[in-house]
Amino acid sequence: MREDYFDRFSSQLTGGLGRLYRGGAFFTNAFQDHAITETAPGHSVTMSGRFPGHTGIVMNAAGVPDAKAPLINGGGPGASPLRFRGTVLMDWLRAKDPKSRGLSVSRKDRGAILPMGRAKQSVFWYTPLGWFTTSKYYADTLPSWVNAFNAKEIPRTYAGKVWNPLLPLNSYPEPDSVPNENFGKNFVFPHPFPQDSDQTAQLFTEYPPMDSLTAQFALAGLQAMELGHGEHTDLLAVSFSTTDAVGHRYGPDSRELHDQILRLDKYLGIFIDSLYKVRDSSKIVFALTADHGTGPYPELRALKEHTKAQRADVWPTLYTAMAKLMGAGADSTTLQFEDGIIWINRDKTTKAGLKPDSVLDALAKSLRALDGVGRVDFVKDLAKADTTKDAVARRWLHMLPSDLPADLVVSLAPYAYYAGVTMSTHGTPNDYDAHVPVIFYGPWFKAGKYSEKALVADMAPTLAAVAGVTPSEKLDGSVRAEAIRKP
């Protein structure tokens, strides 16, 4: 979710997003301050108050996958917080009062797991089989309330239904005939669900009602677990992930994304009203943010801005460097590239009769010459940058754990994509991928718009201050004291 969605759609936000936008402490200049703006790193920051360089969650591929923690009843690969380092708000709450409990839910495993860190609380996510589950890291069987919810088979009831715009068509200024969207297929409303119920369950995550299902599941869990009763503080973390799915398929400037935000607003309004019916609203604090923003399709932006679309084709250059190493006797793992990070095996390179730094120097020079590549930095040089002005260097420094092999980092030019990417995407250290909302709402906070620079890493320490608990380690974020008031 981008921060500017609130301004763009504000007149139509009459539900939960509108309530938080107008009644909360909204930090409009807030950022995920790390370089690889993907789901897993972003979620690792939200409730830890620390950058990925300290949580150890650097990218989706090395986020929560864990073959030793299979899913209960199957439905996907194993997952756990095995790679997560340190503590989160849930740990601090339980250090003060062991009766504090947590529930975290999402359609994505990483969206559910990482806000709870390594705390073995109740953590569930959706599977393509049409139900919510968890992994053996957390439990050996599903609670009865989860089985009862899954037995309703709500996703399958959507088979044959249609996603149409929520409002009259003249409420949407976006064109509905953009072939770049949805991989060039079915990019015009209406969008039907499959006729087959199993296919509908599998593809349900691509449609707005997935957020409604997530909210219903969260409320069912809250009631079953009796979260919010007693004098201790409980934590409910909900990741509404359909904005990501719709954004990837249709882009941030699409009619579909516009409608998704309006529907999320509606679902979130029902969620808040339902929560207030069963719990005392004067004892509830909300915090809202996003794991990342997103950028437009390069071709669509180029048309709008009368400029050139940029796509960085880095692979031929990387393959040339790899071929040189292999020709000298090194193997195919000597040079590796993933998510903009390049690292070289120095021992293997030296044994092949080549100098690692010379190979890297030549590779960096070749990559910098490519269209769409904004910069290539040696990791050892990042700390020399003026990080108050150089956001890209700062975000890479916040990204990389000290024990992660990394020699070069590649940053795309603003609004460039990697070649071959056909969906709308994110993942760069550029502001549009890092700029997200940060909102606090409830009787502990002063409503208003705050233009001061803020970070997603500020959320956990701010919530800890409100809850009266002490973080158990040094944090990267700070308490946003200017927004706190005594209730």
Q: Write the CB contacts of 43 (distance below 8 Å, at least 6 apart in sequence).
A: 57, 110, 111, 113, 114, 115, 239, 291
- Kindly report, residue by residue over 381-437, the tens digit of the pLDDT: 999 999 999 999 999 999 999 999 999 999 999 999 999 999 999 999 999 999 999
Q: What percent of the chain has a predicted confidence (pLDDT) above 70? A: 100
Q: How far apart are CA 298 and CA 487, in angstroms?
A: 47
Residue 187 has pLDDT above 70, yes or no: yes
- pLDDT tens digit string along 240-274? 999 999 999 999 999 999 999 999 999 999 999 99
- Cβ-based neighbours of 407, under 8 Å, separated by 6 or more: 342, 343, 344, 356, 360, 378, 379
**Residues 383-392: contacts with CB within 8 Å, 24+ apart?**
391/33, 391/429, 391/431, 391/434, 392/35, 392/429, 392/430
Q: Write the pLDDT tens digit of every residue in 398-410.
A: 999 999 999 999 9
Give the chain as a 3 state SS string: CCCHHHHHCHHHCCCHHHHHHHHCEEEEEEECCCCCCCHHHHHHHHCCCCCHHHHCCCCHHHCCECCCCCECCCCCCCECCCCCCCCCHHHHHHHHCCCCCEEEEECCHHHHHHHHCCCCCEEEEECCCCCEECECCCCCCCCHHHHHHHHCCCHHHHCCCEECCCCCHHHCCCCCCCCCHHHHCCCCCCEECCCCHHHHHHHHHHCCHHHHHHHHHHHHHHHHHCCCCCCCCCEEEEECCHHHHHHHHHCCCCHHHHHHHHHHHHHHHHHHHHHHHHCCHHHCCEEECCCCCCCCCHHHHHHHHCCCCCEECCHHHHHHHHHHHHHCCCCCCCEEEECCEEEECHHHHHHCCCCHHHHHHHHHHHHHCCCCEEEEEEHHHHCCCCCCCCHHHHHHHHHCCCCCCCCEEEEECCCCEECCCCCCCCCCCCHHHHECCEEEECCCECCEEEEEEEEHHHHHHHHHHHHCCCCCCCCCCCCCHHHECCC
Q: How far is CA 246 from CA 24, 173, 322, 342, in A?
A: 26, 18, 37, 31
Nearest residue to 180 via CA among 258, 296, 292, 260: 296
pLDDT given at position 463: 98
| Positive or negative: CA dihedral 291, 426, 261, 201 | negative
Alpha carbon distance 356, 344 (integer Å): 7
Has residue 487 got a pLDDT over 70? no
**Cα gap 457→75, rounded to integer Å:** 32
The string of pLDDT tens digits covering residues 300-344 is 999 999 999 999 999 999 999 999 999 999 999 999 999 999 999
d(CA 370, CA 354): 24
- Point out which residues pair with 65 in neighbouring strands: 79
What's the pLDDT at 50? 98
Q: What does each C-alpha distance from 142 to 89, 138, 224 come to in angstroms?
A: 25, 10, 13
Residue found by looking up tokens 């754990």 in the block: 401
pLDDT in tens, 282-303: 999 999 999 999 999 999 999 9
User: pLDDT band at 19, cuts 50/70/90?
Assistant: very high
pLDDT > 90: percent of the chain: 99
pLDDT range class, residue 70, cuts 50, 70, 90: very high
Which pTM value belongs to this model? Answer: 0.97
For residues 208 and 106, give the distance between their C-alpha atoms in angstroms, rounded to a whole number: 14
Tokens of residue 34, six digits: 């790390």
Mean pLDDT value of segment 88-100: 98
- Long-range pairs of 333-337 with CB within 8 A, sequence gap ≥ 24: 335/359, 335/363, 337/410
Q: Average pLDDT of the chain? A: 97
Locus of tokens 């150089």: 390
The whole-number pLDDT of residue 486 equals: 79
For the chain, list the domains and their CATH numbers: 4-295+431-483 (3.40.720.10), 314-369+373-412 (3.30.1360.150)
Q: In what order do the strands lie in the sheet with 341-344?
A: 335-338, 341-344, 408-412, 373-378
| Rounded distance between C-alpha atoms, residue 353 and residue 349, angstroms | 7
Is residue 402 within 8 Å of 11, Cβ to Cβ? Answer: no
